[in-house]
A and B are shown apart, each in its own frame.
Chain A
Amino acid sequence: MLEKINERKFNFSSLRRSNILTPSIALIFLVVLLSFLSPHFLTVSNMLNVLRQVSIIAIVSVGMTYAILTGGIDLSVGSVVALSGVITTMLLKNYSVNMYLSILAGLTVGILCGVAVGSMISSKIKMPPFIAGLAMMAVVRGIALIITNGRPIYNLPEQFGFIGGGFLYRIPFPVIIMIVIYIIAFINLRFTKMGVSFYAIGGNEEAARVAGINIRRSTVFAYTISGLTAAVAGIVLASRVMVGQPIAGYFYELDAIAASVIGGARMGGGEANIWGTLIGALIMGILKNGLNLLNVSTYYQQVAIGIVIAGTISFNLLRKS
Chain B
Amino acid sequence: MNDSKSKSEYILEVRGIKKSFGGLRALKSVDLGLKYNEVLAIVGDNGAGKSTLVKAFSGAVIPDEGKIYIDGEEVKIKNPQDAIKLGIQMSYQDLALVDCLNISTNLFMGREICYKFLGMNFLRLKKMSLEAKGHLESLGIRTIGNINEKVRNLSGGQRQVIAISRSVFWGNKIIILDEPTGALGVRESKKVLDLIKTLKSKNISVIIISHNLNHVFSIADRIVVLRHGEKVGEKEIKDTDGDEVVKMITGAEFAGKELK
Binding site for B on A (CB under 8 A): 1-9, 17, 188, 191-194, 196, 199-200, 202-204, 206-213, 270-271
Residue in contact with B120 in the complex, picked from A7, A9, A188, A196, CB distance below 8 Å: A188
A2 touches B143 (CB 8 A): yes
Interface of B: prevailing SS = loop
Residue of B nearest to A193 (CB): B121
Residue of B nearest to A205 (CB): B98
| A204 and B123 within 8 A (CB) | no
Query: Contact between B122 and A200 (Cβ–Cβ < 8 Å)?
Result: no
7 pairs of residues in contact across A and B, judged by CB atoms under 8 Å? A6-B145, A196-B109, A203-B98, A208-B109, A210-B60, A213-B109, A270-B100
Instruction: Report the bound CA distance from A191 to B96 in whole Å.
Output: 22
Q: Which residues of B have CB within 8 Å of A200?
A: 98, 101, 109-110
Please give, as numbers and ranges, the residues of chain A lying within 8 Å of B149 by CB-CB distance.
5-6
User: Are B191 and A1 closer than 8 Å at their CB atoms?
Assistant: yes
Pairwise interchain contact B92-A191, C-beta atoms closer than 8 A: no
Counting CB contacts under 8 A, is B258 at the interface? no
B123 and A196: CB pair below 8 A? yes
CB distance from B234 to the nearest CB of A (A): 28
Chain B residues, CB < 8 A from A3: 142-143, 145
Question: Which of B81, B101, B123, B154 interacts with A203 by CB under 8 Å?
Answer: B101
Assess whether B75 is interfacial by the CB under 8 Å rule.
no
For A208, list chain B residues within 8 Å (CB): 98, 109-110
Q: Which B residue's beta carbon lies closest to that of A188? A: B120
Q: In the assembled complex, which residues on chain A have CB atoms less than 8 Å from the CB atom of B110?
A: 200, 208, 211-213
Verify A193–B146 contact, CB threshold 8 A: no
Contact B121 A194, beta carbon cutoff 8 Å? yes
Would you call B158 and A1 a contact (CB within 8 A)?
yes
A270 touches B98 (CB 8 A): yes
**List of B residues within 8 angstroms of A4 by Cβ:** 145
Closest A residue to B146 using CB positions: A5
Task: Decide: A210 and B92 in contact? CB cutoff 8 A.
Answer: yes
Q: Is the CB of A1 within 8 A of B155?
A: yes
Residues of A within 8 A of B111 (CB): 211-212
* Chain B residues closer than 8 Å to A206, beta-carbon distance: 92, 94, 96
In the complex, A17→B250 CA distance in Å? Answer: 48
Q: Is B114 an interface residue (CB 8 A)?
A: yes
Q: How far is the CA of A200 from the CA of B123 in the complex (A)?
A: 15
For residue B158, which residue of chain A has the nearest CB? A2
Contact A7 B112 (CB under 8 A): no
CA distance A199 to B150 in the complex (A): 12
Tell me if A's interface is mostly helix, strand, loop or mixed: helix
Q: Which of B107-126 contact A (CB under 8 A)?
A: 109-112, 114, 120-123, 125
Q: A3-B145, A206-B94 are in contact. Are A191 and B80 (CB under 8 A)?
A: no
Q: Point out the residues of chain A lying under 8 angstroms from B80, CB to CB.
A: 209-210, 212
The 9 closest A-B pairs by CB, nearest first: A211-B110, A5-B145, A203-B98, A207-B96, A193-B121, A212-B110, A211-B109, A7-B145, A204-B98
Q: When chains A and B are docked, how far (Å) is the Cα of A191 from the Cα of B125?
A: 8
Q: Report chain A residues within 8 Å CB of B97.
A: 204, 207
B219 within 8 A of A: no
Give Cα distance in the complex from A204 to B96, angstroms.
7
Instruction: Enumerate chain B residues within 8 angstroms of A7, measured Cβ to Cβ.
Output: 145-146
Provide the residues of chain A in CB contact with B141, threshold 8 Å. 2
User: How far, in angstroms, from A194 to B118 measured CA to CA in the complex?
Assistant: 14
Pick from B92, B123, B145: contact of A193, CB below 8 A: B123
Contact A210 B90 (CB under 8 A): yes
A-B contacts besides A2-B154, A193-B121, A204-B97, 20 pairs, CB < 8 Å: A1-B187, A2-B141, A2-B145, A3-B142, A5-B144, A6-B145, A6-B146, A191-B123, A196-B109, A200-B101, A200-B110, A202-B100, A207-B98, A207-B109, A208-B98, A210-B80, A210-B90, A210-B92, A211-B96, A212-B80
Give, as a whole number of angstroms, the nearest-CB distance from B59 to chain A.
9
Contacts of A6 in B (CB 8 A): 145-146, 149
Residues of A contacting B157 with CB < 8 Å?
A: 1
Assess A212 versus B84: contact at CB under 8 Å? Given A5-B149, A270-B98, A270-B100. Answer: yes
Q: Return the chain A residue nearest B60 by Cβ.
A: A210
Question: Which chain B residues border A1 with CB–CB below 8 Å?
Answer: 155, 157-158, 187-188, 191
Q: Report Cα–Cα, A1/B144, bound state, in Å.
A: 9
> Is B99 located at the chain interface by the 8 A CB criterion?
yes
Name the one of A9, A203, A212 contacting B100, with C-beta atoms under 8 angstroms: A203
In angstroms, how far is the closest chain B Cβ from the Cβ of A70? 12
Q: Please give, as numbers and ranges, the residues of chain A lying within 8 Å of B90 by CB-CB distance.
A: 210
**Hey, what's the 0/1 contact readout for B122-151 against A, CB within 8 Å counting as 1?**
110100000000001000011111101100
- Closest B residue to A11 using CB positions: B146
Rounded to whole Å, the gap between the CB of B153 and the closest CB of chain A is: 8
CB distance from A293 to the nearest CB of B (A): 39
